[in-house]
């Protein structure tokens, strides 16, 4: 199976399956002399960890990371970093009933067609368990970016319910189980998602990720544009069905006047933008404004209502998915989106150093 690596200079490769003994990531291209310990990575994994509220899967994984290589006396050595997370709470029997059926909305059918074999235990390699590895790589990427750059994510829509942006408060994101920046919306979403969860159903969501403190100049046009790489990064996350940069699809409804991010001379001689509809990227290169990416996450496919499908013999059957599942996978996709953003930016920062003028 190819396609397990991401990035150019800051490049990571993930390995492992949902119900194997462990999962992990090898990060290559991380510069030397960055301070790095397991304590730098663990908080980000804890944010993604399952079983933290009734709104996420009850699979209990401690997600303890171990650094196996690439660090000496608390500093990166410039050699490959190998990070490992043990799987401890696999319940493969949850999946034995569906071993011979294809779950709608999952990768069961496509993996079977492509490889002729599939690890039906939790989806094997296609499981979002793999996203823990991305989060670990993202923690390293944050080190490369340095303290001056922040990468933050939030859930901005659950089903039809959006946040009120006038109430946006980043400090609220860690005060509710949804990573929601609008405290009122978070309260409303709790009742809404309880209803969804109790009925055994699921719902989609939209995640927004914002990077601040970036220099102008990141991105390599034409085919390695920063927005192109971000879109690809987000689309590789499980269950993501659409990506927007800045005002995204809304740009199609605006006039040129409305959509212009006008500029004025700033006090230090650098231009100042009067808005950021472009999402901090022009011509594939960062402007120095916030980089803003949104992505749509589909509803969890594993639901308790029986759905029509076929079995390995090609016969009609029905399936309902037991086991432990997130009623809204968009919630736990927030730290994953942050991690992918951090990895893309770290990669482009290193590439920028290689090609930047002067
Ligand atoms: C953090 C996260 C957790 C997920 N958990 C589940 C889950 O519990 N049940 C489920 O059916 N899908 C879950 N998914 C989505 C599936 O992994 C995904 O839909 C499936 O592998 C098919 O891939 P695709 O939707 O990208 O085509 C999760 C996705 C993410 C990002």
Could you report the per-residue pLDDT of 283-295, keeping only the tens digit for each?
999 999 999 999 9
| Cβ 121 under 6 angstroms from ligand 1 | no
Which has the minimum average pLDDT: 94-108, 117-131, 136-150, 292-306? 94-108
pLDDT of residue 209: 99
Per-residue model confidence as pLDDT tens digits over 20-61:
999 999 999 999 999 999 999 999 999 998 777 888 776 678
Per CATH, which fold does 5-355 belong to?
Chorismate synthase, AroC fold (3.60.150)
Q: Which two tokens stand for residue 254?
A: 């605006």
- Say if CB 286 and CB 278 are below 8 A apart: no
Per-residue model confidence as pLDDT tens digits over 134-162:
999 999 999 999 999 999 999 999 999 99
Nearest CA to ligand 1 atom 12: 300
- Say if CB 25 and CB 124 are below 8 A apart: no
Pairwise CA distance, residues 173 & 192, whole Å? 18
| Cβ 65 under 6 angstroms from ligand 1 | no
In the chain the first and final C-alpha atoms are separated, in Å, by 42
| Cβ 131 under 6 angstroms from ligand 1 | yes
Question: Percentage of residues in the chain with pLDDT exceeding 90?
Answer: 87
Q: Which residues are annotated as a binding site for NADP(+)?
A: 48, 54
CA of 283 to the centre of ligand 1 (A): 33
Mean of pLDDT values over 232-253: 98
Q: Is the pLDDT of residue 94 over 80?
A: no
pLDDT of residue 324: 66
Nearest CA to ligand 1 atom 22: 106
Q: Is the pLDDT of residue 323 over 90?
A: no
| Cβ 301 under 6 angstroms from ligand 1 | yes
Question: What DSSP assignment string belongs to 42-68?
Answer: HHHHHHH-SSSSTTS--------EEEE
Nearest CA to ligand 1 atom 25: 239
pLDDT of residue 353: 93
Angle between helix axes 38-48 and 329-355 (nearest 10 degrees) is 140
Residues 6+ apart with CB under 8 A from 203: 158, 159, 192, 193, 196, 299, 327, 328
pLDDT of residue 28: 98
Domain boundaries, the chain: 5-355
| Cβ 18 under 6 angstroms from ligand 1 | no
Confidence of residue 92 (pLDDT cuts 50, 70, 90): low
Per-residue model confidence as pLDDT tens digits over 330-352:
999 999 999 999 999 999 999 99
pLDDT of residue 93: 67
Q: Which residues are annotated as a binding site for FMN?
A: 125-127, 238-239, 283, 298-302, 324
* Nearest-5° Cα angle at 289, 287 to 293: 100
Residue 251 to residues 109, 222, 261, 342, Cα–Cα distance (Å): 36, 21, 12, 25
64-73 LR contacts (CB < 8 Å, sep 24+): 64/38, 65/38, 65/41, 65/136, 66/38, 67/36, 67/37, 67/38, 67/41, 68/24, 70/27, 70/30, 71/36, 71/37
| Cβ 56 under 6 angstroms from ligand 1 | no
């Amino acid at each position: 199976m190819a396609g397990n690596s991401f990035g150019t200079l800051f490049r990571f490769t993930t390995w492992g399956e949902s119900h194997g003994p462990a999962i992990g990531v090898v990060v290559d291209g991380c510069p030397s002399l960055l301070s790095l310990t397991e304590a730098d990575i663990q908080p980000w994994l804890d944010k993604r960890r399952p079983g933290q509220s009734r709104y996420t899967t009850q699979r209990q994984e401690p997600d303890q990371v171990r650094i196996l290589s690439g660090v000496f006396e608390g500093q990166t050595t410039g050699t490959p970093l190998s990070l490992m997370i043990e799987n401890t709470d696999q319940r493969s029997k949850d999946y034995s009933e569906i071993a011979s059926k294809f779950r709608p909305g999952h990768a069961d059918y496509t993996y079977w067609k492509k490889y002729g074999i599939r690890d039906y235990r939790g989806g094997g390699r296609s499981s979002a368990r793999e996203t823990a590895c991305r989060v670990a790589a993202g923690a390293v990427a944050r080190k490369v970016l340095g303290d001056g750059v922040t990468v933050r994510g939030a859930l901005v829509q659950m089903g039809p319910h959006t946040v009120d942006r006038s109430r946006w408060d980043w400090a609220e994101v860690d005060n509710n189980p949804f990573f929601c920046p609008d405290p009122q919306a978070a309260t409303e979403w709790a009742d809404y998602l309880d209803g969804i969860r109790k009925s055994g159903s699921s719902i989609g969501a939209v995640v927004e990720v914002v990077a601040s403190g970036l220099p102008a100049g990141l991105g390599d046009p034409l085919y390695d544009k920063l927005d192109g790489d971000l879109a690809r990064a987000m689309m590789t996350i499980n269950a993501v069905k659409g990506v927007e940069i800045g005002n995204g699809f809304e740009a199609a409804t605006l006039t040129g006047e409305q959509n212009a991010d006008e500029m004025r001379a700033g006090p230090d001689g650098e231009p100042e933008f009067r808005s950021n509809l472009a999402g901090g990227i022009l011509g594939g290169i960062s402007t120095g404004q916030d980089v803003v990416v949104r992505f749509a996450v589909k509803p969890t496919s594993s639901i308790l209502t029986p759905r029509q499908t076929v079995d390995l013999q090609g016969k009609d059957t029905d399936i309902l998915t037991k086991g432990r599942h997130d009623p809204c996978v968009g919630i736990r996709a927030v730290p994953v989106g942050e991690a992918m953003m951090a990895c893309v930016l770290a990669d482009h920062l290193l590439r920028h150093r290689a090609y930047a003028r002067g």
